Amino acid sequence: MNIKAVIFDLDGVIVSTDECHYLAWKKIADEEGIYFDREINNRLRGVSRMESLEIVLERANKEYSQEEKLALAEQKNNCYREYIKSMTPDDILPGVMATLEKLKSSGIKIAIGSSSKNTPVILKQIGLENYFDAVSDGNNIKNSKPDPEVFVKAADMLGIAYNECMVVEDADAGIQAGKSGGMLTLAVNGANGGDLSLENLACGDLVEIIQA
Ligand code: BG6
Ligand code: MG
């Protein structure tokens, strides 16, 4: 396998922000009198903020104007930002740092490919703002996963061919995005219904698979 770079999704792979997203959307939904639960929240994984809002509003019994939608998305984000303020490097998921360090020392490039516009804030909170070779996120894309744009841009920033990149994702939409970008994909933390994680995949293994 000739993999020269690994592009990691952020939410659900490097850190678990699902609960913060859930609590923030739940607050908005409750205030609007819209039914919302964890199962619906699972559908928001990898999906952009405005597309997530559309999914939340599927259960609403009134139509929202574009202005109202933008206001709701902003409220949700303000609430979410309050929750992530308390994140620290301790919130990095088990197995992640060992995997990243091993890749770096093996000369494999590492990048972030996330739909989140809060990527720079989260990376700063967890002390990894200067750690990756490239960061592609919700601020530099027009099309959210399952469109491959965010990963394609990460590969372009690294200057590495798409078929020499591996994508690590926890969302089915992200796996689809990686595949349609012509990249190898690794589904972790519930993607494709599996239970593989970077913790139970011994960090050496990923490098061995890549270099095999
Ligand atoms: C993704 C999350 O990483 O980012 C989604 O999995 C979220 O749940 C999306 O909706 C957008 O995030 P943000 O931080 O830009 O609102
Ligand atoms: Mg994710």
SS3 content of the chain, % helix, strand, coil (to 5): 50, 10, 40
205 and 188: one domain? yes
Total count of domains within the chain: 2
Identity of residue 155: A
| Residue 87 near residue 15, CB atoms below 8 Å | yes
Confidence (pLDDT) at 210: 75
Identity of residue 136: S
Tell me the C-alpha distance between 170 and 190, whole Å.
6
Count of helices and strands (H, E) across the chain:
9, 5
φ, ψ of residue 6 to 5 degrees: the values are -120, 125
For residue 102, the domain's CATH number is 3.40.50.1000
Q: List, for residues 70-119, the tens digit of each pLDDT value.
A: 999 999 999 999 999 999 999 999 999 999 999 999 999 999 999 999 99
29 and 60: one domain? yes
Ligand nearest, relative to CA of residue 21: 1
The dihedral formed by the CA atoms of 140, 144, 148 and 149, expressed in degrees to the nearest 10: -20
Tell me which of 48, 50, 82, 135 to substitute to probe ligand 1's pocket, judged by most ligand atoms within 8 Å of the beta carbon: 48
Omega before residue 146 within 30° of 0, cis:
yes
| Residue 190 near residue 18, CB atoms below 8 Å | no
Identity of residue 87: M
* Token pair recorded at residue 160: 């590495």
CB proximity list for 95: less than 8 A, separation 6 or greater:
197, 198, 199, 200, 201, 203
193 and 111: one domain? yes
Tell me the C-alpha distance between 141 and 153, whole Å.
8
The verdict on whether 18 is a catalytic residue reads no
Average pLDDT, the chain: 94
- Which of 31, 57, 84 finishes a domain? 84
Q: Is the pLDDT of residue 187 over 80?
A: yes
Confidence of residue 204 (pLDDT cuts 50, 70, 90): low
User: Which DSSP category does 10 fall into?
Assistant: S
Identity of residue 98: A
For residue 32, the domain's CATH number is 1.10.150.240
Confidence (pLDDT) at 180: 97
Confidence (pLDDT) at 90: 95
- Which of 54, 84, 114 finishes a domain? 84
Tell me which of 25, 116, 135, 141 to substitute to probe ligand 1's pocket, judged by most ligand atoms within 8 Å of the beta carbon: 116
Site of tokens 């995997």: 99
Site of tokens 């590495």: 160
Tell me the C-alpha distance between 99 and 193, whole Å.
22
Confidence (pLDDT) at 195: 82
The verdict on whether 9 is a catalytic residue reads yes
* Token pair recorded at residue 166: 């591996």
Q: Is the pTM here over 0.85, yes or no?
A: yes
175 and 76: one domain? no
Q: What range defines the domain where residue 100 resides?
A: 5-15+89-211
